[in-house]
Amino acid sequence: MLNGVTFTAEKGQITCLIGINGAGKTTIMKAIMGLTPLKSGSIQIDGQPLSKGIYEKVAFVPDHLTMPLGMRLSEGIQFMQDFYASWNCERSSELMSFFKLNPKERIGNLSKGTAAKYSLLMGLSQDTDYVLMDEPFSGIDMFSRESIAEVFSSQLVEGRGVLLTTHEINDMEHLFDKAVLLQDGIVHKSFDCEEMRISEGKSVIDVMREVYQS
């Protein structure tokens, strides 16, 4: 249960929410997307409270498939295009080619890695200011992970605010600009990764060990 979580994720930065299992990372994601009701407090996007307009500003890449299993990949893209004014067709085609996805394939037949790529495609093909990603690297093979990580370094993410959660800190911490550590339902520590490396010579893993093992 979250009990007084306060942090800021900036546009143009990749912010990582870190915490042990059950710390509330996914709950925060879902609360931002209006998928879990808040008992108290507020969430603001660019100084504005949450409204249905948020879905044109924030894209969400959840940790599992969220499209009907019988749908084909092309039908899923068509579905998103129908509903999102911010949908970028060119970009979705580029990502389909980049990830080597077969448009005629059914969503239910995708492997975990391919499903993760498709989810990312759905999120990044929207021209939104922010992207939320819940465990985008979870349970997928190394090559798929590298392929996804490549996207983070590309212009697809540049200029956007990215808030993500992951347990693959070791492999991925080089991507992060900011880290927010959750423990016992509150934000225990929030820091700039590069500054931490320079000033205290600590990696994100080092800080995590300090916090969670103390």
Minimum CB separation of residue 19 from other proteins in Å reads 20
Of 38, 10, 16, nearest to 189 (Cα)?
16
Asked whether position 212 contacts other proteins by CB under 8 A, the answer is no
- For residues 106 to 125, the per-residue mask of contacts with other proteins, x marking binding by CB under 8 A and - elsewhere, is -xx-----------------
Minimum CB separation of residue 161 from other proteins in Å reads 17
**In the Cβ-directed half-sphere of 44, how many Cα atoms lie within 13 Å?**
8
Asked whether position 98 contacts other proteins by CB under 8 A, the answer is no
> Which long-range contacts link 50-58 to residues 24+ away (Cβ below 8 Å)?
55/84, 56/84, 56/85, 56/86, 56/128, 57/128, 57/129, 57/130, 58/32, 58/33, 58/128, 58/129, 58/130, 58/131, 58/132
Minimum CB separation of residue 86 from other proteins in Å reads 8
Nearer to other proteins, 67 or 120 (CB): 67
Minimum CB separation of residue 85 from other proteins in Å reads 7
Nearer to other proteins, 18 or 107 (CB): 107
Amino acid at 102: N
Q: What per-residue string of b and e applies to 104-124 under the rule 16 or more CB within 10 Å gives b?
A: eeebeebeebbbbbbbbbbbb
Residues 15-74 that bind other proteins (CB under 8 A): 30, 33-37, 52-53, 55-56, 60, 62, 64-70
Residues 144-203 that bind other proteins (CB under 8 A): none
Nearer to other proteins, 54 or 204 (CB): 54
Minimum CB separation of residue 182 from other proteins in Å reads 20
Tokens of 101: 């996805």
Asked whether position 81 contacts other proteins by CB under 8 A, the answer is no
Q: What per-residue string of b and e applies to 174-190 under the rule 16 or more CB within 10 Å gives b?
A: ebbbbbbbbeeeebeee
Q: Which residues bind other proteins (CB under 8 A)?
A: 30, 33-37, 52-53, 55-56, 60, 62, 64-70, 78-79, 82-85, 107-108
